[in-house]
Amino acid sequence: MPVQNPLARLLTGLGVGSRPLEPIVPRRTLDDVILPPATRRAVDLALVQVTSRDLIFRQWGLAERHPTGLALAFNFAGPPGTGKTICAEAIAHTLGRRLLVVRYAELESMWMGETPKQVVAAFRTAREEQAVLFFDEADAVASRRSTLLDQAAAREANTVVSVLLQELEAFDGVVIFATNLATNLDPAFERRVRTHVRFEQPGPVEREAIWRVQVHPRFTPLAADVDFGALAARHAVSGGDIRNAVLKAALAAAAEPGPDDRKRIHQRHLEAGMAEVIAAKAVMRQSLFDDEAGHGRGAADRSLSTSGWLAAAALRGSLAPLALAGLSLLVATAALVVALLC
C-alpha cells in the first residue's frame, strides 16, 4: 500500500535512509562504469556538450546574451541495474560537482499536493550548490499522465510537468533524468531533453568487466578458482544483479568458520550468490504477476459488484413506485368491493 504522507511514513518507519532530495559527493568515476561501446560514445558526447557549453557560455560570455534555455538535459533510458545512476554520479565526478539526487517517486508520495513546489526547490538547491541535478527513476514525472483516474493526481501530475519545463528553461546547469521506459515520455518534455542515452543490458565482455569492478583490486580476498569470464558467459544478467551476487558471495564467505585472514571468496560463493539473485528475481516476477492478476480480479470484482449494486439501485428506484402503485390499486379495489357489497 503506498504511504501517502510524512507522518504515516514516520510511523511505519518506511523511507528511512532514502531521502527524496539528497546531495551526494560523487566517488565513482567513469572508469567504474562499464558500458557497451555505443552507450559509452553517447555518454562521452554528452560530456563534450557540457564542457563546450561551459566554454561557449561562461568563458566566451554568451550566457549574458542568451540567458535562457541553457540547461543541458539528458535522459538516461534503460532497464534497471544497467548503470544509469552510477553513470550520473561519474559525470558529476568528472565535472567536479556534487550530484543532487531527486528520488521522484519518494518526493511525490511524501509531499502529495506539494510536488511542484518540491521540484522548484530541487532546481533552486542545484543552482545554489552548482550541482548536477539528477532525477532518478523519473518515469512518472516525465511520462504522459492524463490517463490517471484520480482527477486531483492527474492535475498535479500535469502541473509538475509544466513546472519542470519552466524550471528547465530557466536553469543553466546540467540535469539528468533516469527512466526505465524509453517510450511514453511527455512530448513537451521529449523536445526539451535533446540527448537521450540508451542503456542496454551488458554483453558477455562488459559483464566480465563489471564482475571485476565489483571487487576491490587489492583488498578483496579472491580464491585462485575464481573465474569471472565463466560467470559472465553463463549468466546474462544486469550489472545490478552482478553487484548483488558479489555482495551475497562476500557475506557467505565471511560467515564461514575459521580465522578471518584465511577466508576467501571462492567461485562456489559467487555461483551461489548469482543463483540466489536469479531465484529472487523469479520470485519478484511471480509475485508481480500474481499481484497484477490479483488486481485485475479485484478490479473486475469491484466493477461487477458495482454494476450489480447499480442494477439493484436502478431496480429499487423503478420498482418502488410500481409496487406502491400496485398496492394502492389493490386497496382501492378492495375499498370499491366493500362499498359495493355494503
Ligand X SMILES: Nc1ncnc2c1ncn2[C@@H]1O[C@H](COP(=O)(O)OP(=O)(O)O)[C@@H](O)[C@H]1O
* Residues marked as catalytic: 292
Nearest to ligand X of 116, 239 (CB atom): 239
35 lies in the site for ligand X, by CB under 6 A: yes
- Establish if 240 lies at the interface with ligand X (CB under 6 A): yes
- Choose, by CB under 5 A, the member of 39, 82, 85, 238 that binds Mg ion: 85
Residue nearest ligand X by beta-carbon distance: 239
CB-CB contact of 147 with 43 (8 Å): no
CB 150 within 8 A of CB 113: no
CB of 145 to ligand X, least distance (A): 22
Would you tell me the crossing angle of helices 37-53 and 84-95 to the nearest 10 degrees? 30
Asked whether 50 and 173 are in contact (CB, 8 A), the reply is: no
Show Cβ contacts of residue 146 under 8 Å, excluding neighbours closer than 6 positions.
154, 157, 158
Nearest partner of 121 among 193, 19, 8, 12, judged by Cα: 19
Near ligand X by CB under 6 A, which window of 50-58, 83-91, 258-266, 301-309? 83-91
Angle of CA points 42, 45, 46, to nearest 5°? 90
User: Is residue 75 at the binding interface for Mg ion, with CB under 5 A as the rule?
Assistant: no
Binding partner of 213, given Mg ion, ligand X, none, CB within 5-8 angstroms per partner class: ligand X
Q: Which stretch binds ligand X (CB under 6 A): 78-86, 158-166, 316-324, 329-337?
A: 78-86
Q: Which of residues 157-186 bind ligand X (CB under 6 A)?
A: 178
Stretch that binds ligand X, among 30-38, 46-54, 263-271, 298-306 (CB under 6 A): 30-38
Dist. CA 228–CA 156, nearest whole Å: 48
Q: Are 162 and 189 in contact (CB under 8 A)?
A: no
Residues that bind ligand X (CB under 6 A): 33-35, 80-86, 178, 199, 210, 213, 239-240, 243
Residues that bind Mg ion (CB under 5 A): 85
